[in-house]
A and B are shown apart, each in its own frame.
Chain A
Amino acid sequence: MKLDGSDNGDSMRKFILALPLIAGFLVAVFLLDLMLGAVNIPPDAILTIISGGTVKATWMNIFWDWRVPKAVTALCAGGALALSGLLMQTFFRNPLADPYILGISSGASLGVAIIMMSAGIFGAGAVLAGLGILGNMSISVAAIIGAFAVLLLILLISSKIQSNMTILILGIMVSYMSGAIVTILLQFSDESSMHTYSLWTFGSFSGVTWSQLPILTFLILIGFLLSFCLVKPLNALLLGEQYAESMGMNYRRIRIIIISTTALMAGVVTAFCGPIGFLGIAIPHFCRAVFVSADHRVLVPACILVGGIIAIVTDIISRVPGTDIILPLNAITALFGAPVVIWVILRGTKFGRGVTT
């Protein structure tokens, strides 16, 4: 009887048993990410730095100003993307939903494109001078403003609309519209801003500075916390909104919280790391298949941890250890992630499972 399913909280128990293993793996890849890079810092030097000792100043700088923020960013961003993907897949009851389905990242991209390319169109001096105070924050700020504008639009319309399928279509339409505006901007922009923009769309965990890191981690931790508070309504939503409402869930309120939480996490990640694809759609499926559960009490922590691990591993691979080549992060997530997910999902079909939300 117990062979073929998770009866009465079995999946929870299995997850708790696997937790030390997953956490250990997370620590291992985190440390590995700190050790590997274009500049070769020997492991004992890394250990000395971590334990508070002093080594060569350049190594210290590379370690603290470069590798630590990057690893922490990857950890947060991976978890946030996986979690917002999970939220959207459950909310829309659609296995193809991802964190960006509401058009949040398109709004962010539009904000970034306007900042980067309007410089070329309206004269670089005027715009960049105005943004000077913000320094390298300008791209993040533009992305956040864009994401926030889309979120407001979605919330405004969803307060008048009952069906969440309409919201889904709306989000896709917003994506197309901002995509169109970005294309027009690209047409009129000069080559260098075009290049800067396409570099941004590759995605990267390394653009975050120490001054930005607390903002990023704080906002994403709020997203994690909100997601933990949502586990019960998310479980109820597995049966559909009508069942959830009949069980006493306040659908309108939960809907606003789910949309805002997703927008917060996806928006912040896009703002600081660019539009990183694939992780958000694949990791929830991966977690469901590995832990053989749809219970969000398992999936929420699982997505945070597994998302963090995979994001860090992706970052390690994209830097091609031992060389100074840096491959686009977005290419690596899909190129190395997709076969893993395909394997996990196909392995499931032997038992008649396959992709299901």
Chain B
Amino acid sequence: MSDAAILSCSGLTIGYRNQKTIVKEVATDLNLHLDRGEVVCLIGPNGSGKSTLIRTLTGIQPPLDGEVRLCNRRIEEYGPEERATTLSVVLTGQIQAGYLTAFDIVALGRFPYTNWAGKLTESDRAIVYSALASVGAADLSGRFIHEMSDGERQKVMIARALAQEPELMVLDEPTAFLDLPHKIETMRILRQVARKNKKAILLSTHDLNTAIRCADQLWIIDREGTLVAGTPEDLVLSGIFGSAFAIEGVCFDTRRGEFSIPVDHRGTFTLTAPEESVERIWTLYALERIGYAPAGEAEAGIHVMVTKDSLRTRWHVRHSCGERECGSIRELIEWLSTTEGDEN
């Protein structure tokens, strides 16, 4: 498996060498590998060295120790053009360029292949169009980049990286300024590109929830520069995921697989609802959000029962000071808040 690795590194130490003597090590002894068709999300808190790792893995910055191998060759051995045909990047932040169409931008991806004037051949054109089609941006081809939405621009930038026909694509926070549906769409496009076009994809992101659901592998760096690699589910189960990001006031919900906002504890509840129903899940979330924790029948402070017929859903709630039938979760929460004082 490791000979198929597109990108691998062994005993890698990353960091900065300011003068001859001052060395700042960001992370040491990294052993990583990335296969064809795989999407890897690099995640870590701010200041953990994500950018340093990406810069080192893409050969922009020399490693302090160890080596990075791209397609089984040391990355330093690549000439600039050779590296450009093996590795392409999507940088963080938006490009500021006027009078450039999506086609023009994607066509720039052919830079390492074209002649001195950058003239596109028929096959270059075909590659540009197919790159645009791969990211679902075929209809954007003639549009100007400064007239596009953020989501559309990001598709075009991914298409540009794809048109460079690399083995490995590295994306620095490609979802940073997108809304949730576009984040998910971007991740879907990247997975598709990895599978269909047989590329290896490495991306850094701050978006843990999407990363857990979309990545084949997670590389997690914590503030001490320790890097753990593994499938998202394994990392969640072993608790590494939660501890790497633990900061005061925020904790990782292993059940939901996302970070939740801790709330003041208000009481306990039991919930009776049709098994596997959506209503059950969201009632649970609502109760947890306002500070109730699940408990057994005997010790629980409030009892909620959800009943559902073909017409409507009812929430029947009962505690020591009374009971009520509610037509929505909002009503349920409001009633609990107004009667909360009486309950204790």
Measured CB to CB, the residues of A under 8 A from B are 1-9, 93, 229, 231-232, 235-236, 238-240, 242-243, 245-250, 288, 292-295, 297, 352-357
Contact A247:B99 (CB < 8 A) given known A4-B144, A232-B114: no
* Beta-carbon contact of B142 and A288 below 8 Å: no
Q: Does chain A have a CB within 8 A of B98?
A: yes
* Beta-carbon contact of B99 and A292 below 8 Å: yes
Interface size on B, residues (CB 8 A): 41
Top 4 closest A-B pairs, CB basis? Answer: A356-B98, A248-B84, A7-B142, A294-B99
Considering only CB atoms, which chain A residue lies closest to B144 in the complex? A5
Contact A248:B95 (CB < 8 A) given known A7-B101, A297-B118, A356-B146: no
* Beta-carbon contact of B99 and A288 below 8 Å: yes
* Beta-carbon contact of A239 and B97 below 8 Å: yes
Considering only CB atoms, which chain B residue lies closest to A289 in the complex? B99
A-B contact pairs, 18 of them (CB 8 A): A1-B142, A2-B142, A4-B143, A5-B144, A8-B107, A8-B125, A232-B116, A236-B108, A239-B97, A239-B105, A246-B88, A246-B91, A292-B99, A293-B99, A294-B97, A294-B98, A352-B147, A356-B146
* Beta-carbon contact of A247 and B108 below 8 Å: yes
Which residues of chain A are near B81, meaning CB under 8 Å? Answer: 248
CB distance from A224 to the nearest CB of B (A): 15
Q: Does chain A have a CB within 8 A of B111?
A: yes
A250–B58 Cα distance when bound, in Å, is 16
CB distance from B321 to the nearest CB of A (A): 61
Interface of A (DSSP majority class): loop
A240–B105 Cα distance when bound, in Å, is 12
Which residues of chain B are near A249, meaning CB under 8 Å? Answer: 80, 111
Interface centre among B83, B89, B99, B141 (most CB of A within 10 A): B99
Contact A297:B117 (CB < 8 A) given known A1-B142, A243-B89: yes
A243–B85 Cα distance when bound, in Å, is 13
Considering only CB atoms, which chain A residue lies closest to B116 in the complex? A232
CB distance from A160 to the nearest CB of B (A): 14
Other-chain contact of B97, A5, A229, A231, A357 (Cβ < 8 Å): A357
Q: Does chain A have a CB within 8 A of B96?
A: yes
Considering only CB atoms, which chain B residue lies closest to A2 in the complex? B142
Q: Does chain A have a CB within 8 A of B217?
A: no
Measured CB to CB, the residues of B under 8 A from A are 58, 80-85, 87-89, 91, 95-101, 103-105, 107-109, 111-112, 114, 116-118, 120, 125, 128, 139, 141-144, 146-147, 164
* Beta-carbon contact of B141 and A8 below 8 Å: yes
A249–B116 Cα distance when bound, in Å, is 12
A317–B108 Cα distance when bound, in Å, is 42
A5–B104 Cα distance when bound, in Å, is 10
Which residues of chain B are near A354, meaning CB under 8 Å? Answer: 98
* Beta-carbon contact of A7 and B141 below 8 Å: yes
Given contacts A7-B101, A243-B91, 13 further A-B contacts (CB under 8 A): A5-B143, A5-B144, A7-B103, A8-B141, A93-B96, A231-B117, A236-B108, A239-B105, A246-B84, A248-B81, A248-B83, A356-B97, A357-B97
CB distance from B99 to the nearest CB of A (A): 4
Other-chain contact of B142, A5, A294, A352 (Cβ < 8 Å): A5
A295–B142 Cα distance when bound, in Å, is 14
* Beta-carbon contact of B104 and A6 below 8 Å: yes
A243–B94 Cα distance when bound, in Å, is 12
